[in-house]
Amino acid sequence: MKFLAKYIKKYWKSFSIAVLFLTFEAISDLLQPTIMAKIIDEGVANKDINYVLKMGGLMLLITAFGAMSASTRSVMASIVSQNFGTELRSDLFKKIQTLSFKNLNKFDRASLITRLTNDVTQVQVFVNGLMRIFVKAPLLAIGGLIMAARLNLHLSVVLAVVVPIVTLLIIVNLRLGFPLFAKVQRALDWVNSVMREYLSGVRVVKAFNRFDVEIGKFTKANDHFKDQSIAAGRLMATFSPAIMLTVNLGIVVVLWIGGLGVDTGKIQVGHIIAFTNYMTQILFSLMMISMVFNMFVRAKASAGRIDEVFLQEDSLSWKNETVRPSHLEKGRIDFEHVSFSYEGTMGEAVLKNITLTILPGETVGIIGSTGSGKSSLVGLIPRFYDVTSGTIKVDGEDIKHVNPKRLREKIAFVPQKNVLFTGTVAENIQWGKEDAPQEEVEAAATHACAHDFITASPEGYQTRIGQGGVNFSGGQKQRIAIARALVKRPEILILDDSTSAIDVATEAQIKAALKKYATGLTCLLIAQRITSIIDADKILVLDQGEVVGFGTHQDLLTECTVYQEIYQSQIGKEVL
């Protein structure tokens, strides 16, 4: 948990002040029963009303002091925990944003989101709790013990027996409870997964009439969950009365020993009352500590998950940039014996020994079956991932020697999945170039064949996308994403199967527009439809990570069997 060091260094002073005031608060709580004992033993016994009033006043004074301390530490605790949480969340977010994909892919996206939201909150709540009750509980327990012992050493023998027994009971309870609650959680996960599966497969279930099976599955999971919950509930039902009984019997013993003591004049009655007060105080503190322990385990798990992210070393590095002559061929891409495999996948390489050159201004279509490595290949160019071996050069420079920022500035990427962000259409397109004036935005949209449908909606470019906004169709979103890439005016444009939802005619229009929009633009086009890439300057055919064809449509049609197969599957024999 090295990441915590930074915050400890920053907040330990405020934290200590909060804990100091918490200690004052605990002391004022602890003093009350002793003063009460004094009122009874000295005020009432001696019929001294003045003394009673004096002590009452002292009690109020201490109460006021306690309240001030409590308020101060409450404010301190809020400030520290809120600042800490905000900062931790921000640092974690920054860390995630700057990690390379190689690191990021070690985590599920959903799990990263949970870490940012839930786990940070969990840790924050724990830190806040530390300054509220978690430190107070042990203080009260120990303080109560000291006060009780000071009050009457004789009676403390009872404590010497009761406290260890209660502690033992709590420990056993936790020991037995943890695995049980973990089982409850797993049982719940099971119920949820059966439910989730049913919901996503509801048509299949209905089509095959398999209601009985589904109900059977669910009942089994649900029964299991019920049994586990009952077991856990019953464990709690056993221990808490046992703990209470131990303390209560302790009180009875105090009364009896106290009675004997009072008879021989060794003990005063007020002490007995105060003593029983301390006993209950200690009991509640012990219970609180067991709760704290629960919280601690949870917070520790959360902190561990956060730590996993912080521990990721950014795998992207680059040599100091050497200033290069700028007249180099802009938009040239070279692959030299490039092999690549995703970390963790023990299987074979995704790309095997790929060597090819794409010249400036060329449009290259990439085709191949799913899993042939198309997306991986283009993902290497903006250095989303690093090659396992070999070299990739952009503009003649090894991309490992270039600052990824500078590299990515040259490249515009339209991903397979539509990713648009909350905001207006204009804002989304301006993602490509933040200061792009409206004309440029519209020009980009026009070339992406998006202008017409954008202006057709009542609010035009100010139409809001996403949460609560208008939902464009898949093909329209793809076109906005293309406009976003175009407005950047890149040297290299990569379209990763990003025209799949666009009809053929529009697609052809966009491709024609691309040529006009940017002369000299190098364009990589992944597609499923052979018609999408048939007129590209060159077509790259990938199969199981290897280049099996690279040339024009006509060349490939005669030379490349894989390409022929694809062609036949889509066009059919007759056209040939």
Partner 1 sequence: MSKGTEQTENNPSTPPPLRPGGAHRLRGPVVKPKNFKGTLKRLWNYFGKERKMLSLIFFFILLDSALMLLAPFLIGKAVDAMSLHNGKVDFNFLEVMIVILIFAYVGDAVLTFFQGWLMAGVAQRIVKSLRDALFKKLQGLPVAFFDSRTHGELMSRLTNDVDNVSNTISQSTTQLMSGLMVIVGSLIMMVILSPVLTVASLVTVPLVFLLTRTIAKKTSVFFKNQQVELGKLNGHIEETISGIEVVKAFNHEEKVIAEFDIVNTRLRAVGLKAQIWSGFLMPIMNVINNLGFAIVAVIGGILAVKSLITVGAIASFITYSRQFVRPLNDLANIFNILQSGVAGAERVFEIIDEQEELADPTNAVALENPKGHVVFENVSFGYRSDVPILKNVSFEAMIGSSTALVGPTGAGKTTIVNLLTRFYDVTEGRILLDGRDIRAYTRDSLRSCFGFVLQDTYLFSGTIKENIKYGKPDADDGEVEKAARMANADSFINRLPHQYDTVLSENGGNLSQGERQLLAIARVILAKPSLLILDEATSSIDTRTELHIQAALLMLMENRTSFIIAHRLNTIRDADTIMVIDDGQIIEKGSHDELMAAKGRYYNMFFNQFKNVEGALE
Positions 39 through 68 that interact with partner 1 (CB under 8 A): 39-40, 43-44, 47-49, 52-53, 55-56, 59-60, 63-64, 66-67
Does 331 bind partner 1 (CB under 8 A)? Our answer is no
As measured in angstroms, the least distance from the Cβ of 310 to partner 1 is 16
The smaller minimum CB distance to partner 1, of residues 214 and 336, is found at 214
As measured in angstroms, the least distance from the Cβ of 489 to partner 1 is 13
Does 573 bind partner 1 (CB under 8 A)? Our answer is no
Q: How far apart are CA 482 and CA 487, in angstroms?
A: 9
- Binding segment for partner 1 (CB under 8 A), chosen from 224-232, 348-356, 438-446, 517-525, is 224-232
As measured in angstroms, the least distance from the Cβ of 145 to partner 1 is 21
Return the percent helix, strand and coil in the chain, to nearest 5: 65, 10, 25
The smaller minimum CB distance to partner 1, of residues 229 and 312, is found at 229
Tell me which of 118, 317, 462, 471 binds partner 1, using CB under 8 A.
118
Total residues in contact with partner 1, by rule CB under 8 A: 174
Does 160 bind partner 1 (CB under 8 A)? Our answer is no
Does 22 bind partner 1 (CB under 8 A)? Our answer is no
Does 276 bind partner 1 (CB under 8 A)? Our answer is yes
Does 569 bind partner 1 (CB under 8 A)? Our answer is yes
As measured in angstroms, the least distance from the Cβ of 94 to partner 1 is 5
The smaller minimum CB distance to partner 1, of residues 74 and 336, is found at 74
Find out whether 292 and 285 touch, Cβ atoms under 8 Å: no
- Binding segment for partner 1 (CB under 8 A), chosen from 173-181, 344-352, 368-376, 454-462, is 368-376
Does 146 bind partner 1 (CB under 8 A)? Our answer is no
For residue 349, give the H/E element and its range. Answer: none
The smaller minimum CB distance to partner 1, of residues 202 and 337, is found at 202
The smaller minimum CB distance to partner 1, of residues 336 and 400, is found at 400
Q: How far apart are CA 204 and CA 197, in angstroms?
A: 11
As measured in angstroms, the least distance from the Cβ of 57 to partner 1 is 8
- Binding segment for partner 1 (CB under 8 A), chosen from 160-168, 197-205, 335-343, 444-452, is 197-205
Q: What is each CA distance from 282 to 21, 245, 279, 557, in whole angstroms?
A: 20, 14, 5, 86
Does 213 bind partner 1 (CB under 8 A)? Our answer is yes
Q: What is each CA distance from 49 to 36, 39, 42, 53, 280, in whole angstroms?
A: 14, 9, 10, 6, 29
In 201-210, which residue ranges form alpha helices assigned H by DSSP?
202-208
Distance separating the N- and C-terminal Cα atoms of the chain: 65
Find where tokens 């406009």 sit.
483
Residues 482-501 touching partner 1, rule: CB under 8 A, are 484, 488
| Dihedrals phi, psi of 107, to nearest 5 degrees | -120, 150
DSSP letter string, 256-314: HHHHHHHHTTSS-HHHHHHHHHHHHHHHHHHHHHHHHHHHHHHHHHHHHHHHHHHTPPP
Q: How far is CA 522 from the centre of its chain?
A: 37
Q: How far apart are CA 444 and CA 431, in angstroms?
A: 12
243 Cβ partners below 8 Å, 6+ apart? 166, 169, 170, 173, 283, 287
The smaller minimum CB distance to partner 1, of residues 248 and 336, is found at 248
Residues 164-193 touching partner 1, rule: CB under 8 A, are 185-193
Residues 78-97 touching partner 1, rule: CB under 8 A, are 78-79, 81-83, 85-86, 89-90, 93-94, 96-97
DSSP, res 462: G
As measured in angstroms, the least distance from the Cβ of 537 to partner 1 is 13
In 361-421, which residue ranges form alpha helices assigned H by DSSP?
374-380, 404-410
Residues 417-476 touching partner 1, rule: CB under 8 A, are 417, 419, 421-422, 431-432, 434, 466-467, 473
What token pair was written down for 408?
């990515």
Does 141 bind partner 1 (CB under 8 A)? Our answer is no
The smaller minimum CB distance to partner 1, of residues 233 and 396, is found at 233
Q: How far apart are CA 426 and CA 460, in angstroms?
A: 9
